[in-house]
Chains A and B, each alone.
Chain A
């Protein structure tokens, strides 16, 4: 472990195009690209399914089906089918990120108080206005929860980019592995890479929590809190099932 920290804090490893900062930026690049694509697909899809109640089977089916695919196998397949490069990596990360965002958005929309949606229609909002101005703002905590879960998975999994000779923090893990046991750039480099991935995940998690605070309406935060305590009061036995997101 000490060797890992020694490797990690070696100034030589903090500069240049193969240094830790450059790798972090690459890693964040793959991550944000993939999560953005995934959100662009899953948020509208989940919102429309939740709003109309049509295509609910898609949510369950996609989540289970996509989760069952081993990422590495999928990646290998895509690499063989196309070519080595960014595209197959991003596609497989998008496939990984879609299910949690889809599920979060869908359940977020479904969980909006029916009376609120009813009132929105009753006041004369058009269906699209109800979705955009009422359902989505109220679903935001769960939508963002889905995005957070997806981002964490993608950060952890983006190490696979290194398998197809791209950059990112996976490089340290792969290169460390290739350097073999005993080498100073072997095991310590691998462990250092893993540590950086973990720290990066924590930092991004924190940043997303801040974003959530900034964009979710205080009324919705209060409502979520009130609803949660009401649920707990109803079930004092301790079998409270909190949403894991």
Chain B
């Protein structure tokens, strides 16, 4: 647990970067610091590993004031990932990752073996290990940065805008991977970003800072979307927050109605009979959806249902499966809205069609959830 107690940082030039910060970072969770540029996120983060010392208040790590620790020793127990990775250009990728184990006295062989494990864990191929950092893409460098921070298995991980310098597709990938890693490793992660979407996506708890280094709100992502503390937070959280809030409600309460399906390659005449409200879903042998057909598209096919001539479907959403990967109300609503037949296709964990939902049923489920108090607001 990391506790900020009335922490203030004033730089020598008089700038107050952090002002009276009181905040507790919970163990095993991802806590995100978010806010506009210059609001003191980086300063707050760097005070945790004593890269910066506060001018007032104190910071406790597991109950112990960090001022009592020797900074280098403190830092070896805290992973640190920065925006441009900051990899050592003169060392191979493998030796970069082995840095902290070597510092803490591991033998060269053991440190390198550990480094190889970590490269695999972050999804980098073997051959990357012997390259030098300038020979890697930005996304690969960031992965190496994460591997390097995790090498000595520190309980705490500090990440300062680690994914903001890579393109959106790679960023999405890195975010997913971080969540996957976290589900295995249960680190206490403090993550800085200026991107509220990223904060909501990966944070268990989000601290919104305002310029001048003051904490505006500290809450779960769904509470932040549903009940912003003031105008600053609500404008920072941005547009569509009602819609985005649906992303935090599982679609388990949405009734899934039967949906008309026809097999690909089946007879057109029989498919025509199966249409409901003029539409049917075409499925493969394992009942996975391929697309939609209407009376009009069927009239252009002769003999059998041609998988090449379908109307492409909308997004899919997963109903509760044994894996617990149920989609959200946002997924369900989006599936309904994006479907040509106005029916969102619900699939099970293996991707087979189990039924359909309409926008009305999703909204009705939302209203029920509101009434039963599941949704604040």
Contacts and interface: CB of A to CB of B under 8 A. Distances in A.
Interface of A: 113, 115-116, 118-126, 129, 134, 137-138, 217-220, 222-223, 226
A125 B72 contact: yes
Contacts of A222: 89, 132, 134-135
25 contacts: A113-B89, A115-B85, A116-B89, A118-B82, A119-B82, A120-B86, A122-B75, A123-B149, A124-B71, A124-B75, A124-B76, A124-B100, A124-B103, A129-B103, A134-B90, A138-B88, A217-B91, A217-B132, A219-B88, A219-B90, A219-B92, A219-B135, A222-B135, A223-B132, A223-B134
Given A121-B51, A123-B103, A219 B133 contact: yes
A222 to B, nearest CB: 4
B132 A219 contact: yes
- The 9 A-B residue pairs whose C-beta atoms are closest, nearest first, are A219-B132, A119-B86, A124-B76, A124-B75, A122-B80, A217-B90, A115-B86, A223-B89, A222-B134
Contacts of B74: 124
Contacts of B83: 115
Given A120-B86, A123-B149, 7 more contacts: A115-B86, A123-B100, A124-B72, A124-B74, A138-B90, A220-B89, A223-B132
Nearest to A117: B86
A218 B132 contact: yes
Interface in B87-109: 87-92, 99-100, 103
A119 B87 contact: yes
B148 A123 contact: yes
B170 interface: no
A118 B51 contact: yes
A129 to B, nearest CB: 8
Which among B86, B92, B132 has the highest number of chain A CB atoms within 10 Å? B86
A220 B103 contact: no
A125 B88 contact: no
A123 to B, nearest CB: 5
B146 to A, nearest CB: 12
Contacts of A134: 88, 90
B49 interface: yes
Contacts of A125: 72, 103
B84 interface: yes
Contacts of B86: 113, 115-116, 118-120, 122
Interface string B6-26: 000000000000000000000
Contacts of B73: 124
Interface in B40-80: 49, 51, 71-76, 80
Nearest to B149: A123
A146 B276 CA distance: 82
Contacts of B133: 219, 223
B100 A219 contact: no
A150 B85 CA distance: 36
Contacts of B148: 123
Contacts of B134: 219, 222-223, 226
Which among A122, A125, A129, A222 has the highest number of chain B CB atoms within 10 Å? A122
Interface string B227-250: 000000000000000000000000
Given A121-B51, A126-B72, A219-B134, A116 B103 contact: no
Contact of A123 (B76, B84, B85, B92): B76
B353 to A, nearest CB: 50
Nearest to B103: A124
A124 B102 CA distance: 11
A123 B151 CA distance: 11
Nearest to B151: A123
A231 to B, nearest CB: 15
A223 B131 CA distance: 13
B233 to A, nearest CB: 30
A123 B82 CA distance: 11
B82 A122 contact: yes
Contacts of B80: 119, 122-123
B16 to A, nearest CB: 22
Nearest to A121: B51
Contact of A121 (B75, B85, B89, B149): B75
A227 to B, nearest CB: 9
B49 A120 contact: no
B93 to A, nearest CB: 9
A136 to B, nearest CB: 9
A86 B76 CA distance: 51
B358 to A, nearest CB: 52
Contact of B91 (A113, A121, A219): A219
A113 B103 CA distance: 21
Contacts of A122: 49, 51, 75, 80, 82, 86
B89 A217 contact: yes
B309 to A, nearest CB: 48
A225 to B, nearest CB: 8
Contacts of B91: 217, 219
A15 B148 CA distance: 61
A115 B84 contact: yes
Contacts of B87: 116, 119
Contacts of A113: 86, 89
Contacts of B51: 118, 121-122
